[in-house]
Chain A
Amino acid sequence: MAKPERLDEAALSAFLPLHKENFHILVSLADQDRHGYSIMQDIAARSDGAVRISASTLYGAIRKLLESGLIEELSERPDPKRDDERRRYYRLSAMGWAVAKAEAKRLERLLADARAMGLLSEGRGRV
């Protein structure tokens, strides 16, 4: 995983808000480098199957993320023993890491606001 660098706020905010599928991919690559199918599995597992990305959608998103420099393709195999040599592996770039973090913070703020307004309580709105 690339080490995060300090990046310009303006450059980061140009990516925000991230598309839902792109954010899922970035989150998936945050803990380890993965190949496409592994990303699909991880997303499905993390969301208990609620979010399922098809292979065609995934690689469209991967192409865009590669072009915008948020992820990188690995030239070396992370685990050659368990590796399928036909696979291509991806990892977060420094910029991707920073963007994912900024998006997470944005969502966190949004969530805090929703909580403060009572949207996450059991009741149905203001009484």
Chain B
Amino acid sequence: MKRLHRLLLRMYPKEFREEYGREIQLAFEDRLREGPVLWSLLESVWGMVREAPLEHGRLLADDLRHAWRKAKNEALVSGAIILTLGMAIGINISLFTLVDGLLIRPGIGINEPERVVRVYGKDYWTAMTRSYPDYLDLREGVEGLEAVAAYQRYEVLVQGRKQRVNAVSAGYFQVARARPAKGGFDGTRLGEDVLVVAEGFARREWGGVEQAIGKELRLGRKVYRVIGVCAGAFRGFDDMPVELWTGLGELPRDRGNFGAVHLVARLADGVPMAVADRQANAANLRGWRADGVKQEKEVMQLGPYSVLRGPKAPKEVSLTLWLAALSLIVLVIGCANVAQILLARAVRARRERVVQLALGASFTRILRQSAMEGMLIAVAGGVFALALAYLVSPVVAAWLLPFAEVADFELGWSALAVSGKYKEQLEFTPWQRAPQTRVAAWSPGRDAGGIHDGVAGWCRAAGQESERSVPA
């Protein structure tokens, strides 16, 4: 029992043990002689369980105070370390934020993004876009694809500012499984120019989702009426976000026009991409034959919906990866510098350590104090690095990826620090995850249609109807 108690005393920090351990043990042995053995042990153990963490905490606080005093006394050296560390980590955060946003995280606002694929061409010249008949082939003849959509992207002037717009086919929102925040489809207005806007856009332009419905917006020369608001953070399938969607309408059935549309699709549940790929190519070849054109070779391939992760990734991506590797080297050099400064400081503090040892401080205590000093400086360096990265990230993004908007690469964690005022702008950030939408199943519309059909099915699937909706 005595040995067990002696062993349990190890719960205390060494300093406390050395000072009072023997006394505690003696008192425990005295109590054993007087009272019930088990009760005495339990009483003592309960006391240790309560007190030992407090003693550890007290020592930690002491070390922290000591580290703070020391950092203050050697402000110049501490400042140099914090600066070096902060810069090295800050640059790394900026570059990895970029890599993360481009390559690692799945798309925002897209439910189960791993099931969303893009149709690429095997030929270099037709890699990114397909013909309109290709879209029809896939939409009607591939079991392995739950939804298929075609879209075109363009830019127009909206209220004096260039805006990206997607003209989308039926099934577009079903591929992403995005849901409407508000709005619906009025079947009687099939011929009108209608528009779906992102929730953030609606809030910025008209102060809310409710107010957006029915509003008119001039895109270039045409005026469009807003019929729906896309909820959540969905901003299209491209790496450059889009907030405005118009209808694609019927396009000419020209098999040779490979530059007509971008194609995206959602894999059916449990269907691997390779299987869907084979089915898609088979359907495509059937389509060619039906149009009376001889085509033996498979011309399309399915891949990740993000072009930057796909087989035809642009050169900026590899540049970013190289820079990320370079930034790692910068980090290592930064750390080596810091280690050197710390070593110099440790050599200078040798006399102080000797005095501490002579006064009875244990080796572990001195080691812990040194670790605490290092940790304090590391935390300060980390905070500086985050601040630096917050400022530098958009600039680095603008420099390396001129095709993207600076706002697209703000730091993800900044969302924690900013007020609701900027929330909508931050919803643009590519690392925000898709909200889990409520759309359980979706059957793509049979008509060629355009955004009308897309939005109609979209609203049906979400089980919502607008106040303006009139069943077709």
State the A residues within 8 Å of B (CB).
35-37, 40, 52-60, 62-63, 86-88
Q: How far is the CA of A43 from the CA of B85 in the complex (A)?
A: 55
Which chain B residues (89-111) contact chain A, with CB distance < 8 Å? none
> Count of B residues near A, CB < 8 Å?
22
Chain B residue numbers with a CB within 8 Å of A40 are 27, 31
Q: Is B16 an interface residue (CB 8 A)?
A: yes
Which single member of A55, A60, A86, A87 contacts B28 (CB below 8 Å)? A55
Which single member of A36, A58, A63, A88 contacts B16 (CB below 8 Å)? A63
Q: A52-B43, A55-B28, A60-B55 are in contact. Are A88 and B23 (CB under 8 A)?
A: yes
Q: Is the CB of B55 within 8 A of A37?
A: no
Q: A37-B27, A60-B54, A87-B26 are in contact. Are A54 and B20 (CB under 8 A)?
A: no
Chain B: minimal CB distance from A63 (Å): 7
State the B residues within 8 Å of A (CB).
16, 19-20, 22-28, 30-31, 43-44, 46-48, 50-52, 54-55
Question: What are 24 sample pairs from A and B whose C-beta atoms fall under 8 A apart?
Answer: A36-B26, A37-B30, A54-B46, A54-B47, A55-B24, A55-B31, A55-B44, A56-B24, A56-B51, A57-B47, A57-B51, A58-B47, A59-B23, A59-B24, A60-B47, A60-B54, A62-B20, A63-B16, A63-B19, A63-B20, A63-B55, A86-B26, A87-B26, A88-B23
Given contacts A54-B43, A55-B24, 12 further A-B contacts (CB under 8 A): A36-B24, A36-B26, A37-B30, A40-B31, A55-B25, A55-B31, A56-B24, A60-B54, A62-B20, A63-B19, A87-B23, A88-B23
- Of listed A55, A57, A59, residue having the most chain B CB within 10 A: A55
Q: How far is the CA of A23 from the CA of B54 in the complex (A)?
A: 19
Chain B: minimal CB distance from A42 (Å): 13
Query: Which 4 A/B pairs are nearest by Cβ-Cβ distance?
Result: A56-B47, A54-B47, A55-B27, A60-B51
Chain B residue numbers with a CB within 8 Å of A63 are 16, 19-20, 55
Q: How far is the CA of A57 from the CA of B31 in the complex (A)?
A: 14
Q: How far is the CA of A55 from the CA of B50 in the complex (A)?
A: 12
Chain B: minimal CB distance from A78 (Å): 16
Q: How many inter-chain residue pairs (CB < 8 Å) link A and B?
A: 56
Chain B: minimal CB distance from A80 (Å): 18
Is chain A's binding surface mostly helix, strand, loop or mixed?
A: helix
Chain B residue numbers with a CB within 8 Å of A37 are 26-27, 30-31
Q: Is the CB of A36 within 8 A of B22?
A: no
Chain A residue numbers with a CB within 8 Å of B44 are 54-56
Q: Is the CB of B27 within 8 A of A58?
A: yes
Chain B residue numbers with a CB within 8 Å of A52 are 43
Q: How far is the CA of A71 from the CA of B187 in the complex (A)?
A: 89
Chain A residue numbers with a CB within 8 Å of B26 are 36-37, 86-87
- Of listed B46, B51, B54, residue having the most chain A CB within 10 A: B51
Q: How far is the CA of A36 from the CA of B47 in the complex (A)?
A: 15
**Which single residue of chain A is at the shortest CB-CB distance from B25?**
A55
Q: How far is the CA of A52 from the CA of B51 in the complex (A)?
A: 15
Chain A residue numbers with a CB within 8 Å of B55 are 60, 63
Which single member of B23, B51, B52 contacts A36 (CB below 8 Å)? B23
- Of listed A56, A59, A63, residue having the most chain B CB within 10 A: A56
Which single member of B20, B30, B46, B50 contacts A59 (CB below 8 Å)? B20
Chain A: minimal CB distance from B162 (Å): 67
Q: How far is the CA of A53 from the CA of B16 in the complex (A)?
A: 18
Q: How far is the CA of A13 from the CA of B22 in the complex (A)?
A: 34
Chain A residue numbers with a CB within 8 Å of B31 are 37, 40, 55
Q: A36-B27, A37-B30, A60-B55 are in contact. Are A55 and B47 (CB under 8 A)?
A: yes
Chain A residue numbers with a CB within 8 Å of B30 are 37
Chain A residue numbers with a CB within 8 Å of B46 are 54
**Which single residue of chain B is at the shortest CB-CB distance from A52?**
B43
Q: How far is the CA of A107 from the CA of B400 in the complex (A)?
A: 72
Q: How far is the CA of A37 from the CA of B23 in the complex (A)?
A: 8
Q: How far is the CA of A86 from the CA of B16 in the complex (A)?
A: 17
Q: How far is the CA of A37 from the CA of B24 in the complex (A)?
A: 9
Chain B residue numbers with a CB within 8 Å of A56 are 24, 44, 47-48, 50-52
Q: How far is the CA of A37 from the CA of B29 in the complex (A)?
A: 10
Chain B: minimal CB distance from A124 (Å): 35
Q: How far is the CA of A23 from the CA of B22 in the complex (A)?
A: 24
Chain B residue numbers with a CB within 8 Å of A58 are 24, 27, 47
Chain B residue numbers with a CB within 8 Å of A86 are 22, 26
Chain A residue numbers with a CB within 8 Å of B19 are 63
Chain B residue numbers with a CB within 8 Å of A60 are 47, 51, 54-55
Chain B: minimal CB distance from A91 (Å): 16
Chain A: minimal CB distance from B45 (Å): 8
Chain B: minimal CB distance from A24 (Å): 14
